[in-house]
Structure 1
Amino acid sequence: MIPRPLQAPVAVVMFDLDFTLWDLSGVIPHAEQVCQGLLEQRYPAVAERFDIESQRSLRVELAEQHPELAHDVTRLRRASLERIGAVAGYQGAALQALVEEAFTAFIDARHAVTLYDDTLPLLRALRGQVRLGALTNGNADVHRIGLGEYFDFTLSAVELGAAKPSHLVYETAARRAGAPAAEIVHVGDDVHTDVYGAANFGMQAVWLNRDGAHWPDEVPAVPHHAVGSLAELEGMLLGLLRAA
Structure 2
Amino acid sequence: MLDIDRIRAISLDLDDTLWPVLPTLKAAEAAQHRFLSEHAPATAALLQDKVVAGAIRQSVRDDFVHKAHDMTHFRQQFIRRALLQAGEDEALVEPTFAQFYAARNQVTWFAEVEDSLAWLSARYPLVAVSNGNARLDWVGLAPWFAACASAHEVGVAKPHVGIFTAASQAIAVPLAAFLHVGDDAALDVEGALACGMQAAWVQRQELDYHQAAASATHLQWPLASQAPQAMVRDLAELCLLLGRPDR
Q: Same fold judged by TM-score > 0.5?
A: yes
Cα offset for 1:142? 1.2
Compute the TM-score of the two structures, normalised by the length of structure 2.
Answer: 0.87
Other-structure match for 1:36:
33
Partner secondary structure for residue 155 of structure 1: strand
Cα offset for 1:28? 1.0
Cα offset for 1:89? 3.0
Classify 1:48/1:227 alpha carbon distance in 2 versus 1 (closer, same or farther; 3 Å). closer
Which ranges of structure 1 fall in alignment gaps of 5 or more residues?
none
2:74 to 73, 76, 86: 76
Q: Does 1:5 align with 2:10?
A: no
Matches within 5 A, 1:97-108: 98-108=92-102
User: 1:136–1:157: 8 Å Cα contact kept in structure 2?
Assistant: yes
Q: Does 1:19 align with 2:13?
A: no
Tell me which amino acid in the other structure corresponds to 1:14: S
Distance in 1 (alpha carbons) for counterparts of 2:56 and 2:46: 12
Q: Does 1:115 align with 2:112?
A: no
Which ranges of structure 2 fall in alignment gaps of 5 or more residues?
206-213
Distance in 2 (alpha carbons) for counterparts of 1:60 and 1:214: 34
User: 1:16–1:135: 8 Å Cα contact kept in structure 2?
Assistant: yes
Cα offset for 1:84? 1.8
Compute the TM-score of the two structures, normalised by the length of structure 1.
Answer: 0.88
User: 2:201–2:228: 8 Å Cα contact kept in structure 1?
Assistant: no
User: 1:122–1:231: 8 Å Cα contact kept in structure 2?
Assistant: yes
Other-structure match for 1:95:
90
Bigger shift: residues 192-201 or 79-88: 79-88
Q: What whole-Å deviation, never above 9, does each CA across 1:173-222 have from its counterpart, x for those lacking one?
A: 222231122211110011111111111111110011223264224x5224
Q: Does 1:234 align with 2:234?
A: no
Distance in 2 (alpha carbons) for counterparts of 1:147 and 1:130: 15
Moved over 3 A (4+): none
User: What is the Cα-based RMSD across aligned positions, in Å?
Assistant: 1.9
Other-structure match for 1:210:
204
Cα offset for 1:20? 0.6
Task: Count residues in correspondence.
Answer: 232
Q: Tell me which of the two structures has the higher relative contact order, counting C-alpha pairs closer than 8 angstroms and 6 or more residues apart.
A: 1
Distance in 1 (alpha carbons) for counterparts of 2:18 and 2:177: 21
Cα offset for 1:239? 5.2
Distance in 2 (alpha carbons) for counterparts of 1:7 and 1:235: 12
Distance in 1 (alpha carbons) for counterparts of 2:163 and 2:142: 21
Distance in 2 (alpha carbons) for counterparts of 1:196 and 1:142: 24
Tell me which amino acid in the other structure corresponds to 1:27: T
Bigger shift: residues 8-17 or 123-132: 123-132
Classify 1:216/1:48 alpha carbon distance in 2 versus 1 (closer, same or farther; 3 Å). same
**How much identity, in percent, do the aligned residues show?**
32
Distance in 2 (alpha carbons) for counterparts of 1:181 and 1:223: 15
Tell me which amino acid in the other structure corresponds to 1:69: K
Partner secondary structure for residue 4 of structure 2: coil
